[in-house]
Amino acid sequence: MTGDLLPLLVAVPLLGGGVSLILSRYRMAQRVLGVLVLTAQLGLAIAALRSVFDGSTITARLGGWTPDVGIVLVADPLAGLLLVVAALMLLAVFVYALGSELTDDTAPFFHPVYLTLAAGVSLSFLAGDLFNLFVAFEIMLVSSYVLITLGGARRQVRHGMSYVVISLLASGLFITAVALLYGATGTVNMALLAGELDQLDPTVRQALGLMLLVVFGIKAAIFPLFQWLPDSYPTAPSPVTAVFAGLLTKVGVYAIMRTQTLLFPTGGTASTVLLVLAGLTMVVGVLGAIAQDDVKRILSFHIVSQIGYMLLGVGLFSLAGLAGAVLYIVHHIIVKTTLFLVGGIIEQTNGTGQLRKLGGLLHSAPGMAVLFLLPALSLAGIPPFSGFVAKLSLVQAGLAIEQWTIVGVSLAVSLLTLFSMTKIWNGVFWGTPDEPSPVAAAEGPDRLPASPAMVGATTVLVVASLGVSLAAGPLFDVSERAATVLLDRAPYIDAVVGP
């Protein structure tokens, strides 16, 4: 695939979303269209990854404008890898959503908005300038505002509101940061900014870097800026929560990774700010998870805790650290989505996600127990699952440059993660319910069997997460190539600025 085809990764889902809206009265056509579009996106993403697999970078200049004034789409190994994982996950969750109750009444709106979200995610990975990154974030976030309030129940409006307001404030800060950067350097293109920022007064440079970190920190839910996440995520319909949990915060982490390495490199030393934030994010997230009593809320707090690990890799600023962070993102997107999908099935088949009302599912639904156990052990980092590989590479990277404290913290948090996963396991799959569930007796409409599409999609993702641990070697090689490009900067800048 040459660079000229990169815009298709954004155009195809965006166009698909438009057509899907026109087709909103024909439910079957809408479903087929959605699957086709997302499959096409997966194919395009794989083609893009193939051409950057060896560590090269491909670009597309939209409308033939030069990078200093025009829009440039850039795919390097990091973007290629994330595009493939994101596309795979979007497709799997879409199939799950087709089988879930969600798509009955709200389908006419769910499909177009979901495809627009896919376009926004692709564009964020490909954006070569900060303003385009802002636009990509907005496409993604506006779709997410609609998805999180889909159905418009009272509780959703109340929790969705805080999500929307926080995201909008972050967007306002983002525009402010872009304006200040433009005022200081005269460009918004990231490759050009890299050169310009090096010549700025270090104080101004640091202030700009901190501002971007706050903006992306809100999106990625890092330590002091995460409170919106566990509050709003669990209220959305399960497939929506799964896609948010897997993707949205990771796009924020990707933006931190890209801007910190390209625009504000530390020159080989570890960044203390990022490491401290990483440690606090891990600890606070996992402690929050331990205090919760609802499957989705526990998992939501875990997202926060896991973001800390990715930040740890970025903060180490070494080749091994960044490679570990890339591998961790790939692992996390798949595993977290799977866990939320399983949580959704549990909620749908039992009418509740509260641990004290659940129990004994190991006997009534053994298949579900397996689907939960594999990704849960992986999340906690038990060998030989993908989480172990990812955590091991991060720990090794930390030990290599003698950051003992943060390595110790990450290992302790790992144990606590295992503890809270055991809590879900004990509460849901073992024993008997502490309180009889109100719907369990009534067999009301809240209690629906899981459809084959839901179980099928979840199984595919569980297999994919096992695939990550089997293919850990080659995957780590790609991650390392991605990290090399990130640290070297020159290949990226040359590909964008060069003739």
Partner 1 sequence: MNLVIALTIGVLYTAGVWLLLQRSLSRIVIGLAVIGHGANLLLLAAGGPGGAPPVAGADPAVTADPLPQALALTAIVITFGVSAFLLSMAYRNWIYRADDEVEDDVEDRRIMEARRAIERDQARTQELSEDDDLGQGVGR
Of 172 and 438, CB closest to partner 1: 172
CB of 399 to partner 1, least distance (A): 37
- Residues in contact with partner 1 by CB under 8 A are 69, 131, 134-135, 138, 142, 145-146, 149, 152, 154, 157-158, 160-161, 164-165, 168-169, 171-172, 175-176, 178-180, 182-183, 188, 231
Instruction: Specify which residues 60 forms β-bridges with.
Output: 73
Taking the C-alpha atoms of residue 96 and residue 255, their distance in angstroms, rounded to an integer, is 28
| Residue with smaller CB distance to partner 1, 102 or 136 | 136
Q: Which is nearer to partner 1, 38 or 188 (CB)?
A: 188
The DSSP H or E segment spanning 401 is none
Q: How far apart are CA 114 and CA 31, in angstroms?
A: 12
- Which CB, 7 or 70, lies closer to partner 1? 70
In whole angstroms, the minimum distance from the beta carbon of 432 to partner 1 comes to: 26
Q: How far is CA 443 from the centre of its chain?
A: 36
CB 34 to partner 1: min, Å: 23
Cα–Cα distance between 491 and 499 in angstroms, integer? 13
> What residues contact 7, with CB distance under 8 A and at least 6 apart?
60, 62, 73
Q: Which is nearer to partner 1, 131 or 425 (CB)?
A: 131
At its nearest, how many Å lie between partner 1 and the CB of residue 57? 24
Q: How far is the CB of 175 from partner 1 (least distance, A)?
A: 4
Smallest gap from residue 232 Cβ to partner 1 (A): 11
Q: Nearest Cα to 308, choosing from 249, 235, 360?
A: 249
Residue 186 parent element (H or E): none
Give the residue from 234, 21, 20 showing the smallest Cα distance to 148.
Answer: 234
CB of 142: closest distance to partner 1 in angstroms? 6
Query: Please, which residue, 177 or 335, has the CB nearer to partner 1?
Result: 177
Rank residues 160 and 321 by Cβ distance to partner 1 and give the closer one. 160
Burial (CB < 10 A; 0-12, 13-18, 19+), residue 11, is middle
Whole-number Cα distances in Å, 288 to 168, 456, 461: 25, 31, 26
